[in-house]
Structure formats: C-alpha cells, structure tokens
Amino acid sequence: MSSRIYDSIKDKIKEILKEHYNLDTEVVWNKPPSPKMGDISFPLFNIAKIQKSTPDEIGKRIIEKLSVPKYINKLELKDGFLNIFLEKNSFAKKTLLETIKQPNYGQNTSKASERIIIEHTSSNPVGPLHIGNVRGSVLGDVLGRLYKFQGAAVNVRYYINDLGRQIAPLIIGYNLLMEEKVKPDSKIDLWIGKIYAIVNTFLEIQQLKYQLKVLNIKIKTESKLYELNPEDVKKYLSHLENSKTEQQEKDNLTKWLQKLERVSTSLQKRLPKLYSLLFNLVEDNIEDLNKLTIEYVIKYQEGKDEEIVSSFREVSREAISGHVTTLNLFNIFHDDFDWESDVAWSGEVTHILKELEQNSVLRHDGHARLLANDKIATNFGFKEKYNIKYEIPDLIIVNSEGITLYPCRDIAYHLHKLDKFDATFCYNVISKQQQLAQLTVRLALYALGNQDIADRISHFDYEYVSLVGRKMAGREFEYVTPDELYDAVKTEVDLLLKERNYTEEESQEISRKVSASSVKYYILKMDPQKAVAFDVKKAVSLNENTGPFLQYSYARALNILKKAKEEKIDFQTILDSAQDLKFEIEKKEEWDLLQLIEELPSIIVKAVDSLRPDSIANFSYSLASTFHKFYDVCSVLKAETEELKATRMILVYSTIKCLESLFEIMGIDTLERM
C-alpha cells in the first residue's frame, strides 16, 4: 500500500525518529482493521525494540513532536500502534484539487528516460490466436501502456516464427486448395488452423506407419497411406503387444496410435468436407508427404527457392493478418514485425556458433551440440549476479544432423534486437514453458561478450491457460479463440441492447466496445503466475468484476454530470472556484471513494515496478464497486447543502478521471451510454 499523503506523514515520523533518537529506520504504515481505530496506523514494535523502550513510550514522544498537519484530526495510541484519525475535509480538498489540476490524473514522468521494447504474442503462423496466446498479448499490451503512461517510449514487436517444421504440411495443403480454387470457409487464420491440423495429421499417420514398419510390425490392410481406420489400429495394437520391441517404445507407439486415431476421427467429424477434400488431394498428388515436408523445410531455411519462399511468406502473412485483426478488436497493436527467417538468412547464426565454439561453451555430446549453460553462468558471474544457486541444464541448440534449432536464431535476433529501437530495456512476454530457452539466450549473450545486452533483456513469463477438463492443442484443432468469445458476448449484448432505444449505429458501437472489454478484462485480471482453467461461461459474463461493469460505472458517473447540466447547474464554475470551496465529507461511502482516488497514482507506479498489469484491473474493480456504493447512498444533485453537492460532484468528476486513466492503461474503451 502506498499513498502520497500517507507517505508524507510517514516521512514526518521518520524525521522525528532521526532527530530525536538518531534512528534511521524504515517506517511502515497500514490501514487499521476498523475505522474506529483510525484511518492510518503505524506499528511501533520494532522501533521500541531498537530503542529498548516500549511502543507506548515511543508513541508518546512522536505525538509530542509531531507538528500536526492540517489533515490530521486526532492521534491515538492503542496496542502498540500509533493510530491517526484524518481530518477528512482537508484531506478531500488536498486530494481533489490535485485530481482536478492534472489533465490525465495519475500520469507521471518517472519512466521518461526509458525506451522499452515489448515483444508479445509471437504466435506460430499455423492457426488462429487462442486464449492461451492472447494472455501474453494482453499482458504485453497493458505493460506497454503502463510504461507509456509514465513517459517511456515504447516499441511493440511481433516475432514471426515462420521457420518451424510444422509450417510445411500447412503450405502443402494450402497450395493444393489454392490450385483447386477453394475459398476459405471462415476467417483466414481459423481456416489455416483447420488445414494445418488436417494435413499434419496425415503427416503423422505416415510417420507412425513408417516407424511401425521399421519395427517389422506389419498388418494386412486396404487403407490408404494417410488413413488410419479403427480396425487397423486394433490390429497394430495387438501386433505391437506381441512384438519384441522395448517396453518404453511400445508404450510410446501405443499412445501415438491412440492419439492419432482420436484426432483423425474427431477432425473428420468436425470438419468432414475439408477433411475429405484434403485427403483426396493429398492422396492423389503427394506421393511422400514426409519427404516433401523435409524438402520444403530445408529449401525455406536456405531461402533461395523463390517459389517456396513466397509460399511460406504468403501463408504466414495471411495467418498473422488474422492475428492482427483479432488483436485490434482488443485495442492491441504492434509497431513492428520481425521474421525468424530473416534472422536465419542473415548468416549470423554461423558466426555465433563459431564464436561460441572458440569460447569453449559448446558441448558436443553424442552427436548434438549443447550450449553449456551452467558453465557460462558460473564463469561469467551470471549466477552470482542473479543469485542462482542451482545447476542450470544445458540446452541442445544444434541437432545431430547439424541443423540449427530455434534458440540459435533467438540468440542472433537478440544480439541486435535492442538496436532496432535504441532501447534501454526489452521485455519478452512469453509463456513460462520457454523459461530455459529464454535463459539460454541471455547466457549465450554473456558468452559472446554482450553482458550489457543480456542484462537489459527480461523474460516476462506467464502460466498456461487450459480449458476446463481438457487441453488446448493447435495440432488437433482444439482451442478456444478470443474471436468466438467475443462473438458469444456480442450476441448476449445485442440482445440486451434491443430493449433500449439506440440507433443501429450506436448499438453496434456499444456492443463492440462492451464485448471487447469483457474478453480483454477477463484475461487481464488473472495473476500471470497462475495457471488458469478457462471457463467460457464466466468469460462471457457481464456482471461483477468484468469490463462491462467498469464501463457501466463510468456511464453512470458521467450521467450525473449530464443531468446536472440539464438542471442548469454550472459545474464548470464549481470547478473553477474549487480552491475556495469548503469540502465536506459526511458519509463512509464518500470517504472510501476518496481514499481510492487518492491512492490511484501510487497504484500505477507499483503496477509497473512489480510487473503486475493485472493489479490495475483489480484496483479498477474496487474503485468501480466503491463508486456504486457511493452512488446508492449519496444523492449528488439532491444533496442537502451546496457544499455537499459541490464536493460530491467533484468526487464524481474525479472518479471519472480515475476511470479514464485506468481505461487508457488497460486499453479498454469508455462508453457514455450503454
């Protein structure tokens, strides 16, 4: 907890301790459990202990010396705490005058000297974004907005992983459909996701059959190369059971068989038309899908075959364009896009490997090459610097066939990434699964003599999102997309809006903004470190701690001022003469609201310093919720006295300003009516 007024009282107490006891110690404050014990309290135990005195003695001394600022009403000692009762009216005046004065309340320049790169989303271009990826998008977006709000220059980048083996089967299927002039049956990235899942299944079926053949597990069958029917699976399983294969391998193959059977049946059921269309196309045109896949991958990695290059790029671009459309729904935008393939083609990876080799930090083991993470961490002072006490595992970066794996490109990418924006710091908002890979990148930079770069890169990690009861799997076309959540909410909202008298245009704007905020806020409000089982029902809810709830509070607050205008109350004059106004805080609800307003600036600072974008959402909820309570109990326009009316109007106005700042940071739209 932090607050400017409270901190200033704290500083006074610190001064007294320094002056009186020559004591330089940290003083903490907190909120008493009950208002009867005051508004703010200071525990005196540790000071008493250092001074070999009692809390009461210390407290008495502080009270004696504390020249009471005008917003302190009463001081009290109780159970070792110094309890302070604030003079609410002066507190209100100080806080609200400040709020009125600032154009964007809570904005500051504490990060003005920073230039921040934020990489987020960076999803593979083989399907639509799902709620798992979008968790990173939302966190990255809000982190960037927090920095911007505090004066930093922010550059948001998307790293396109277009070199994956997985893309090749997608390209093959996509091209076959193009030749047949088949049109997408859905949003482009979703369509790509379908093609990928289907053709990849064919590929896996072929690979599995090949493996079984190698082990001499053969069955009599009528089925085609890319087909796996249930009867064959049964036969395979019984052959496998009786074969002399190692148990471990038996288990793996059994699992694989079962999985592929499940996936192919499920895909056939859910996408019957596309499945059979692609099946026939691949069966008729592709003799050896596996071989072709490898050929494509190698050719793209080399980057010289123009046809292949343009195919990969085209499909990737299509997928990413779908991602961008989705992200834009939620006010999430990227400034730049980097291609993994560009990094590969630059030839830098070869140099890096050579240098790592020369520096003796590559470990050859069997046939693969690993980056000697622990050795680097120890020798270059990394462990000491970051207080790492365990052994860091080595990571394979070149496989036994001499093919460089993605961490190599990641290292090359990060060598120049900060230069692209002349950045002071870079956050990679990437799921926790990438922890070791991300650490490896930084260690490689250490080994290459680029500690200065490595120390300015941070992995902002977040836990995975699963579905209630099952896992999300792109390969199986199993996921919940933010698009479908958005649509589900929108249907609900449209229904609500039908009962109100809005024009079609207004209605569309409102439902768009409400739906977007609903989905975005739901993802934002969860602690990044917590794995979440996603509940679709809750995600589309419009009540309680949701985006629409906040928007509703805003509209309600705004409406009071609108109403005031109708009643010919000149609020501008009230604002202009606020300096001379006698502020009056009468009820608990006003006081609660006021304190949250006062707290907002420090909440913003803390959110970025502790890397908790989600804390903004939770604070917004308490503010909105407190406002509703205030609204219910305190009549603004019909307040008993002019002073009370003016104070309440300014409270409403300040709440609006708070919400505007919070919405700005969360990238959620405000609504005047809904």
Partner RNA sequence: GGACCAGUAGUUCAGUGGAUAGAAUGGCUGCCUGCGGAGCAGUUGGUCGUCGGUUCGAAUCCGAUCUGGUCCGCCA
Burial group, residue 663, by CB count within 10 angstroms (0-12, 13-18, 19+): buried
18 lines the binding site for RNA (CB under 7 A): no
The window from 212-220, 349-357, 366-374, 654-662 that contacts RNA (CB under 7 A) reads 366-374
Which x/- pattern over 303-342 shows residues binding RNA (rule: CB under 7 A)?
-------------------------------------x--
526 lines the binding site for RNA (CB under 7 A): yes
Nearer to RNA (CB atom), residue 39 or residue 261: 39
Nearer to RNA (CB atom), residue 177 or residue 612: 612
CA distance 567 to 232: 80
357 lines the binding site for RNA (CB under 7 A): no
485 lines the binding site for RNA (CB under 7 A): no
> For residues 216-275, which are near RNA according to CB under 7 A?
none
> For residues 38-77, which are near RNA according to CB under 7 A?
38, 41, 43, 45-46, 49
CA distance 301 to 305: 10
Structure tokens at 613: 């974008």
CA distance 674 to 669: 12
> For residues 166-205, which are near RNA according to CB under 7 A?
166
| Helix ranges restricted to H, 180-305 | 188-214, 230-242, 247-270, 272-285, 289-302
Q: Are 156 and 120 in contact (CB under 8 A)?
A: yes
List all residues 6 or more positions away from 26 whose beta carbon is below 8 Å from its beta carbon.
none
Structure tokens at 80: 């070792």
> By CB under 7 A, how many residues form the interface with RNA?
99
Which x/- pattern over 392-431 shows residues binding RNA (rule: CB under 7 A)?
-xxxx--xxx-x-xx-------------------------
Of positions 74, 262, 563, 582, contacts RNA by CB under 7 A:
563
CA distance 73 to 505: 53
> For residues 73-102, which are near RNA according to CB under 7 A?
78-81, 83
Nearer to RNA (CB atom), residue 148 or residue 512: 512
28 lines the binding site for RNA (CB under 7 A): yes
**What DSSP character marks residue 35?**
G
Residue whose C-alpha is closest to residue 158's, from 48, 279, 317, 269:
317
30 lines the binding site for RNA (CB under 7 A): yes
577 lines the binding site for RNA (CB under 7 A): no
> For residues 611-670, which are near RNA according to CB under 7 A?
612, 614-615, 618, 625, 628-629, 631-638
Nearer to RNA (CB atom), residue 251 or residue 365: 365
> For residues 432-451, which are near RNA according to CB under 7 A?
432-437
591 lines the binding site for RNA (CB under 7 A): no
Nearer to RNA (CB atom), residue 244 or residue 638: 638
549 lines the binding site for RNA (CB under 7 A): yes
673 lines the binding site for RNA (CB under 7 A): yes
Nearer to RNA (CB atom), residue 163 or residue 212: 163
Which strands sit side by side in the sheet containing 336-339, from one edge to the other? 336-339, 153-160, 115-120, 425-431, 457-462
From residue 545, give the alpha-carbon distance in Å to each of 12, 548, 626, 657: 38, 9, 12, 20
Of positions 22, 24, 34, 103, contacts RNA by CB under 7 A:
34
Q: Are 333 and 327 in contact (CB under 8 A)?
A: yes
CB of 606 to RNA, least distance (A): 7
Helix pair 547-566, 642-666: axis angle to 10 deg: 140
Nearer to RNA (CB atom), residue 195 or residue 281: 195
CB of 82 to RNA, least distance (A): 8
390 lines the binding site for RNA (CB under 7 A): yes
Q: Which residue has the tokens 């604070």?
A: 619
**What DSSP character marks residue 184?**
P
CA distance 44 to 46: 6
Of positions 199, 411, 426, 510, contacts RNA by CB under 7 A:
510
The 3-state DSSP class for residue 483 equals: helix
165 lines the binding site for RNA (CB under 7 A): yes
Tell me how crowded residue 262 is: count the other CB atoms within 10 A of its CB. 12
Nearer to RNA (CB atom), residue 242 or residue 501: 501
Nearer to RNA (CB atom), residue 68 or residue 496: 496
Q: How many CA atoms lie within 13 A of 569 on its CB side?
A: 18
> For residues 109-148, which are near RNA according to CB under 7 A?
124
Nearer to RNA (CB atom), residue 47 or residue 423: 47
Cα torsion 570, 574, 576, 580: sign: positive
Nearer to RNA (CB atom), residue 281 or residue 377: 377
CB of 5 to RNA, least distance (A): 17
Nearer to RNA (CB atom), residue 69 or residue 80: 80
Of positions 63, 472, 497, 575, contacts RNA by CB under 7 A:
497
CB of 44 to RNA, least distance (A): 8
293 lines the binding site for RNA (CB under 7 A): no
- In one letter, which amino acid is 153? A
CB of 277 to RNA, least distance (A): 26
C-alpha of 473 from chain center = 20
| Helix ranges restricted to H, 105-187 | 131-149, 167-179
Phi and psi dihedrals of 474, rounded to 5?
A: -65, -35
Q: How many CA atoms lie within 13 A of 499 on its CB side?
A: 4
Q: Are 55 and 45 in contact (CB under 8 A)?
A: yes
CB of 29 to RNA, least distance (A): 9
Q: Which residue has the tokens 């001064």?
A: 15
